[in-house]
Amino acid sequence: MPAKLIDGKALAATIKEDIKKEVEGLKSKHKMTPKLVSVQVGENPSSEVYLKSQRKNAEDLGIDYHIEKLAEEASQDDLVRAIDKLNKDKGVNGIIVQMPLPSHIDAKSVPRYILPAKDVEAVHPQNMGEIVFGNAKVLPCTAVACMEILDSIEGLKLYGKEAVVVGHSEIVGKPLALLLLNRFVTTTVCHIATGERGDLPEFVKKAEILIVAVGKAGLVKGEWIKQGAIVIDVGINRVEGKLVGDVEFEKAQERASYITPVPGGVGPLTVAMLMRNLVEAFKIQKSEDRRQKKSDL
Protein backbone atom coordinates (compact mmCIF):
# COMPACT_ATOMS: atom_id res chain seq x y z
CA MET A 1 0.00 0.00 0.00
CA PRO A 2 1.43 3.44 -0.86
CA ALA A 3 2.20 5.82 1.99
CA LYS A 4 -0.51 8.13 3.25
CA LEU A 5 0.05 11.73 2.23
CA ILE A 6 0.30 14.20 5.08
CA ASP A 7 -1.67 17.27 4.03
CA GLY A 8 0.30 20.21 5.46
CA LYS A 9 -2.22 22.71 4.10
CA ALA A 10 -5.14 21.11 5.90
CA LEU A 11 -3.15 20.77 9.11
CA ALA A 12 -2.08 24.41 8.89
CA ALA A 13 -5.68 25.50 8.30
CA THR A 14 -6.82 23.78 11.51
CA ILE A 15 -4.00 25.33 13.53
CA LYS A 16 -4.72 28.74 12.01
CA GLU A 17 -8.36 28.53 13.16
CA ASP A 18 -7.12 28.30 16.76
CA ILE A 19 -4.60 31.11 16.25
CA LYS A 20 -7.30 33.33 14.77
CA LYS A 21 -9.53 32.86 17.81
CA GLU A 22 -6.61 33.60 20.11
CA VAL A 23 -5.72 36.76 18.17
CA GLU A 24 -9.33 37.96 18.47
CA GLY A 25 -9.24 37.35 22.23
CA LEU A 26 -5.91 39.20 22.63
CA LYS A 27 -7.15 42.14 20.56
CA SER A 28 -10.23 42.65 22.68
CA LYS A 29 -8.35 42.12 25.95
CA HIS A 30 -5.43 44.46 25.20
CA LYS A 31 -7.09 46.84 22.72
CA MET A 32 -4.15 46.32 20.43
CA THR A 33 -3.52 44.38 17.21
CA PRO A 34 -0.45 42.11 17.22
CA LYS A 35 2.07 43.34 14.68
CA LEU A 36 4.76 41.48 12.76
CA VAL A 37 7.59 43.27 10.91
CA SER A 38 9.85 41.64 8.34
CA VAL A 39 13.12 43.42 7.66
CA GLN A 40 14.37 43.00 4.11
CA VAL A 41 17.74 44.22 2.88
CA GLY A 42 17.76 44.68 -0.89
CA GLU A 43 15.58 42.58 -3.16
CA ASN A 44 16.02 38.83 -3.31
CA PRO A 45 13.66 36.79 -5.48
CA SER A 46 14.07 33.75 -3.21
CA SER A 47 12.56 35.72 -0.28
CA GLU A 48 9.51 36.86 -2.23
CA VAL A 49 7.50 33.64 -1.85
CA TYR A 50 8.05 33.58 1.91
CA LEU A 51 7.21 37.30 2.27
CA LYS A 52 4.02 36.87 0.27
CA SER A 53 3.02 33.94 2.40
CA GLN A 54 3.77 35.87 5.62
CA ARG A 55 1.53 38.74 4.48
CA LYS A 56 -1.29 36.43 3.40
CA ASN A 57 -1.21 34.46 6.66
CA ALA A 58 -1.05 37.61 8.79
CA GLU A 59 -4.04 39.08 6.93
CA ASP A 60 -6.03 35.85 7.33
CA LEU A 61 -5.43 35.93 11.08
CA GLY A 62 -6.06 39.63 11.70
CA ILE A 63 -2.39 40.37 12.43
CA ASP A 64 -0.80 43.65 11.27
CA TYR A 65 2.08 43.07 8.88
CA HIS A 66 4.74 45.40 7.57
CA ILE A 67 7.89 44.96 5.48
CA GLU A 68 10.72 47.30 6.52
CA LYS A 69 12.82 47.67 3.38
CA LEU A 70 16.47 48.65 3.53
CA ALA A 71 18.57 49.40 0.46
CA GLU A 72 20.85 46.67 -0.92
CA GLU A 73 23.86 48.84 0.08
CA ALA A 74 22.69 49.25 3.70
CA SER A 75 25.56 48.51 6.08
CA GLN A 76 25.54 46.12 9.03
CA ASP A 77 25.23 49.18 11.32
CA ASP A 78 22.21 50.42 9.36
CA LEU A 79 20.58 47.00 9.80
CA VAL A 80 21.37 46.85 13.52
CA ARG A 81 19.91 50.37 13.97
CA ALA A 82 16.72 49.34 12.12
CA ILE A 83 16.37 46.24 14.32
CA ASP A 84 16.98 48.29 17.46
CA LYS A 85 14.27 50.77 16.50
CA LEU A 86 11.81 47.88 16.12
CA ASN A 87 13.00 46.35 19.42
CA LYS A 88 12.05 49.61 21.18
CA ASP A 89 8.75 50.13 19.36
CA LYS A 90 5.95 49.00 21.72
CA GLY A 91 3.63 48.65 18.72
CA VAL A 92 5.80 45.91 17.18
CA ASN A 93 5.51 42.40 18.63
CA GLY A 94 7.53 40.26 16.24
CA ILE A 95 10.64 40.85 14.14
CA ILE A 96 11.98 38.73 11.30
CA VAL A 97 15.18 39.51 9.45
CA GLN A 98 14.69 38.06 6.01
CA MET A 99 17.46 35.78 4.74
CA PRO A 100 19.51 35.71 2.60
CA LEU A 101 21.22 39.00 3.40
CA PRO A 102 23.68 40.72 1.03
CA SER A 103 27.16 39.23 1.37
CA HIS A 104 28.69 42.35 2.99
CA ILE A 105 26.53 41.69 6.08
CA ASP A 106 27.60 39.06 8.60
CA ALA A 107 24.31 37.12 8.59
CA LYS A 108 25.32 34.80 11.44
CA SER A 109 25.70 37.71 13.85
CA VAL A 110 22.32 39.31 13.05
CA PRO A 111 19.93 37.14 15.16
CA ARG A 112 21.56 38.27 18.41
CA TYR A 113 20.43 41.88 17.78
CA ILE A 114 16.75 40.94 17.86
CA LEU A 115 15.15 41.31 21.28
CA PRO A 116 14.53 37.68 22.42
CA ALA A 117 10.93 38.57 23.37
CA LYS A 118 10.25 39.67 19.76
CA ASP A 119 12.25 36.90 18.09
CA VAL A 120 9.40 35.07 16.34
CA GLU A 121 11.70 32.81 14.31
CA ALA A 122 13.51 31.73 17.50
CA VAL A 123 16.91 32.43 16.02
CA HIS A 124 18.37 34.42 18.94
CA PRO A 125 20.95 32.35 20.87
CA GLN A 126 18.86 32.74 24.06
CA ASN A 127 15.77 31.22 22.44
CA MET A 128 17.88 28.51 20.78
CA GLY A 129 19.46 27.73 24.15
CA GLU A 130 16.07 27.32 25.83
CA ILE A 131 15.39 24.38 23.49
CA VAL A 132 18.20 22.43 25.12
CA PHE A 133 16.38 22.66 28.44
CA GLY A 134 12.94 21.99 26.92
CA ASN A 135 11.76 25.42 28.14
CA ALA A 136 11.42 27.32 24.88
CA LYS A 137 8.24 29.40 24.45
CA VAL A 138 9.00 30.20 20.81
CA LEU A 139 10.51 27.53 18.58
CA PRO A 140 12.24 27.61 15.18
CA CYS A 141 9.31 27.49 12.76
CA THR A 142 10.32 24.69 10.38
CA ALA A 143 11.68 22.44 13.11
CA VAL A 144 8.50 22.73 15.16
CA ALA A 145 6.43 22.30 11.97
CA CYS A 146 8.05 18.85 11.59
CA MET A 147 7.14 17.99 15.20
CA GLU A 148 3.58 19.17 14.57
CA ILE A 149 3.41 16.82 11.57
CA LEU A 150 4.60 13.89 13.68
CA ASP A 151 2.09 14.74 16.41
CA SER A 152 -0.71 14.76 13.84
CA ILE A 153 -0.19 11.08 13.06
CA GLU A 154 -2.82 9.19 14.98
CA GLY A 155 -1.51 6.62 17.41
CA LEU A 156 2.17 7.45 16.81
CA LYS A 157 4.25 7.17 19.97
CA LEU A 158 7.55 8.98 19.56
CA TYR A 159 9.16 7.59 22.74
CA GLY A 160 12.04 5.27 21.80
CA LYS A 161 11.58 5.60 18.04
CA GLU A 162 14.63 5.83 15.80
CA ALA A 163 14.88 9.05 13.79
CA VAL A 164 17.40 10.25 11.24
CA VAL A 165 17.64 13.95 10.41
CA VAL A 166 19.55 14.75 7.22
CA GLY A 167 20.82 18.35 7.31
CA HIS A 168 22.28 20.20 10.31
CA SER A 169 21.43 23.85 9.66
CA GLU A 170 20.83 26.25 12.57
CA ILE A 171 17.21 26.80 11.50
CA VAL A 172 16.11 23.22 10.80
CA GLY A 173 18.38 20.22 11.46
CA LYS A 174 20.02 21.22 14.75
CA PRO A 175 16.94 22.51 16.60
CA LEU A 176 14.87 19.63 15.24
CA ALA A 177 17.36 17.10 16.63
CA LEU A 178 16.97 18.73 20.07
CA LEU A 179 13.16 18.70 19.85
CA LEU A 180 13.26 15.00 18.98
CA LEU A 181 15.67 14.28 21.83
CA ASN A 182 13.39 16.15 24.24
CA ARG A 183 10.71 13.60 23.29
CA PHE A 184 13.07 10.63 23.86
CA VAL A 185 13.47 9.84 20.19
CA THR A 186 16.81 8.16 19.42
CA THR A 187 18.17 10.70 16.96
CA THR A 188 20.99 10.62 14.43
CA VAL A 189 21.96 13.76 12.51
CA CYS A 190 23.58 13.39 9.08
CA HIS A 191 25.17 16.19 7.07
CA ILE A 192 27.49 16.93 4.17
CA ALA A 193 30.35 14.86 5.63
CA THR A 194 28.03 11.84 6.01
CA GLY A 195 27.11 12.26 2.35
CA GLU A 196 30.71 12.66 1.23
CA ARG A 197 31.76 9.45 2.98
CA GLY A 198 28.95 7.63 1.17
CA ASP A 199 27.35 6.66 4.48
CA LEU A 200 23.95 8.29 3.91
CA PRO A 201 22.11 5.15 2.64
CA GLU A 202 23.22 3.15 5.67
CA PHE A 203 21.81 5.73 8.12
CA VAL A 204 18.62 6.41 6.15
CA LYS A 205 17.84 2.68 5.98
CA LYS A 206 17.60 2.52 9.78
CA ALA A 207 15.21 5.44 10.14
CA GLU A 208 11.68 4.83 11.41
CA ILE A 209 11.29 8.59 11.15
CA LEU A 210 13.24 10.29 8.38
CA ILE A 211 13.42 14.06 8.09
CA VAL A 212 15.41 15.53 5.21
CA ALA A 213 16.38 19.23 5.05
CA VAL A 214 19.23 19.65 2.59
CA GLY A 215 18.12 21.40 -0.61
CA LYS A 216 19.27 18.81 -3.18
CA ALA A 217 16.58 17.29 -5.38
CA GLY A 218 16.51 13.48 -5.30
CA LEU A 219 19.34 13.21 -2.75
CA VAL A 220 17.54 10.49 -0.79
CA LYS A 221 16.73 7.49 -2.97
CA GLY A 222 13.41 5.73 -2.64
CA GLU A 223 15.01 2.33 -2.15
CA TRP A 224 16.84 3.55 0.98
CA ILE A 225 13.57 4.15 2.83
CA LYS A 226 12.80 1.63 5.57
CA GLN A 227 9.53 -0.20 5.02
CA GLY A 228 6.81 1.63 6.96
CA ALA A 229 8.95 4.70 7.74
CA ILE A 230 7.50 8.17 8.25
CA VAL A 231 9.14 10.55 5.77
CA ILE A 232 9.14 14.33 6.18
CA ASP A 233 10.70 16.16 3.25
CA VAL A 234 11.64 19.75 4.13
CA GLY A 235 13.70 20.43 0.99
CA ILE A 236 12.47 22.86 -1.64
CA ASN A 237 14.10 22.64 -5.07
CA ARG A 238 13.04 23.97 -8.43
CA VAL A 239 13.52 21.38 -11.17
CA GLU A 240 12.35 22.19 -14.70
CA GLY A 241 10.02 24.84 -13.30
CA LYS A 242 8.47 22.46 -10.74
CA LEU A 243 8.94 22.42 -6.97
CA VAL A 244 10.29 19.15 -5.60
CA GLY A 245 11.76 17.96 -2.32
CA ASP A 246 15.00 16.17 -1.44
CA VAL A 247 13.48 12.66 -1.45
CA GLU A 248 12.60 10.61 -4.55
CA PHE A 249 8.91 10.96 -3.90
CA GLU A 250 7.21 8.22 -5.97
CA LYS A 251 9.64 5.47 -4.99
CA ALA A 252 9.67 6.55 -1.34
CA GLN A 253 5.89 6.53 -1.29
CA GLU A 254 5.91 2.81 -2.15
CA ARG A 255 7.86 1.99 1.02
CA ALA A 256 6.87 4.64 3.58
CA SER A 257 3.76 4.59 5.79
CA TYR A 258 3.39 8.38 5.78
CA ILE A 259 5.04 11.01 3.59
CA THR A 260 4.83 14.79 3.16
CA PRO A 261 4.48 16.18 -0.38
CA VAL A 262 6.48 19.13 -1.76
CA PRO A 263 4.83 21.59 -2.10
CA GLY A 264 1.97 21.36 0.40
CA GLY A 265 3.76 19.55 3.23
CA VAL A 266 6.07 21.33 5.65
CA GLY A 267 5.88 24.77 3.97
CA PRO A 268 2.33 25.81 4.96
CA LEU A 269 2.93 24.65 8.52
CA THR A 270 6.15 26.66 8.83
CA VAL A 271 4.25 29.91 8.30
CA ALA A 272 1.50 28.81 10.69
CA MET A 273 4.18 28.19 13.34
CA LEU A 274 5.57 31.68 12.71
CA MET A 275 2.13 33.14 13.45
CA ARG A 276 1.81 30.99 16.56
CA ASN A 277 5.19 32.31 17.74
CA LEU A 278 3.97 35.86 17.16
CA VAL A 279 0.97 35.25 19.43
CA GLU A 280 3.30 33.73 22.03
CA ALA A 281 5.65 36.75 21.75
CA PHE A 282 2.70 39.13 22.18
CA LYS A 283 1.68 37.32 25.37
CA ILE A 284 5.26 37.33 26.71
CA GLN A 285 5.53 41.09 26.09
CA LYS A 286 2.19 41.78 27.77
CA SER A 287 3.15 39.82 30.85
CA GLU A 288 6.55 41.62 30.97
CA ASP A 289 4.66 44.94 30.78
CA ARG A 290 2.45 43.90 33.69
CA ARG A 291 5.49 42.87 35.74
CA GLN A 292 7.20 46.17 34.92
CA LYS A 293 4.12 48.18 35.96
CA LYS A 294 3.91 46.30 39.27
CA SER A 295 7.59 46.91 40.05
CA ASP A 296 7.19 50.62 39.20
CA LEU A 297 4.43 50.97 41.81
For residue 96, count other CB atoms closer than 10 A to its CB. Answer: 25
- The count of chain residues that interact with ligand NAD, using the rule CB under 6 A, is 26
Sequence-ordered list of residues with C-beta below 8 angstroms from that of 26, at least 6 positions apart, any chain: 32, 34, 279, 282, 283, 286
CB of 68: closest distance to ligand NAD in angstroms? Answer: 22
| Binding flag, residue 172, ligand NAD (CB under 6 A) | yes
Q: Find the part of the chain contacting ligand NAD (CB under 6 A) among 80-88, 146-154, 160-168, 275-283.
A: 160-168
Torsion 14-1-189-160 (CA) sign: positive
Q: Find the part of the chain contacting ligand NAD (CB under 6 A) among 57-65, 101-109, 126-134, 164-172.
A: 164-172
Please select the residue that binds ligand NAD; options are 12, 74, 234, 244, rule is CB under 6 A.
234
| Binding flag, residue 253, ligand NAD (CB under 6 A) | no
Sequence-ordered list of residues with C-beta below 8 angstroms from that of 231, at least 6 positions apart, any chain: 3, 210, 212, 225, 247, 252, 256, 258, 259, 260
How many whole angstroms separate alpha carbon 205 and alpha carbon 225? 6
**Burial (CB count within 10 angstroms: exposed 0-12, middle 13-18, buried 19+), residue 69:** middle
Query: Among residue numbers 122 through 151, which ones bind ligand NAD (CB under 6 A)?
Result: 142
| Binding flag, residue 274, ligand NAD (CB under 6 A) | no
CB of 159: closest distance to ligand NAD in angstroms? Answer: 26
Question: Which residues in this chain contact ligand NAD in the complex, by CB under 6 A?
Answer: 142, 166-169, 171-173, 190-192, 194-195, 200, 213-216, 219, 234-237, 266-267, 270
